[in-house]
Amino acid sequence: MRDHPLRTGTPLQAALADIWLEGMGNYYWLSDTWRFVEGKSSPKGAKALRVLEPRFMTRLAALACSTSENAQELSKSLSSGTFDRKWGALPVALWLDAESTNADFLRDFIIAGEDGVWALASRNVTPALKSQLNEIHALEKTCSAAK
């Protein structure tokens, strides 16, 4: 962290930093009922991703142009509250678990910092949601330029 500090200057950057950190923490706390088995998501994990992946995209899109005043409300349940409602941390934990067969999966994620969240999501969300990732990046740039 000292050598590669996380960017937290905008509400979206702050959320991504929290998602990065808490997603790793939640990964380590996943019980067997949440973990992938033989390359397949557990029923509990699959259900959570169906609910949380669209929320993940919606919240990141909203945070891309949010102010610091409304960012706190948009970030609710990102990494706190009921485990199956953690819209930021739980999807990352489940995606990390899905990629845990790659020996360098966690090292690569850590080195990438919050950019690792984008890459991880891109590799794991449904194709319909994947296109939204690029739109959120563009939205963030547009909103940052307008401020």
pLDDT tens, position by position, 56-77: 999 999 999 999 889 999 999 9
Of 131, 137, 121, nearest in space to 49 by CA: 121
d(CA 129, CA 118) in angstroms, rounded, equals: 12
Query: 95 falls in which pLDDT band (50, 70, 90)?
Result: very high
What is the model's pLDDT at position 38? 84
Q: How far apart are CA 116 and CA 16, in angstroms?
A: 9
Residue 104 CB-half CA count within 13 A = 4
Per-residue pLDDT tens over the stretch 24-36: 999 999 999 999 9
Least reliable range by pLDDT among 36-45, 91-100, 109-118, 138-147: 138-147
Lowest mean pLDDT, pick from 45-54, 81-90, 99-108? 99-108
Q: What is the helix (H) or strand (E) element at residue 48, kind and residue range? A: helix 43-64
Q: Which residues contact 64 (CB under 8 A, 6 or more apart)?
A: 12, 136, 139, 140, 143
- What pLDDT was estimated at residue 147? 64
Is 129 a residue whose pLDDT tops 80? yes
Contact between residue 89 and residue 79 where contact means Cβ atoms under 8 Å apart: yes
Contacts of 109 (CB under 8 A, 6+ apart): 20, 24, 96, 116, 120
Q: Over pLDDT 90: what percentage of the chain? A: 74
The pLDDT, as a whole number, for residue 17 is 95
In this predicted structure, what is the pLDDT of residue 29?
94
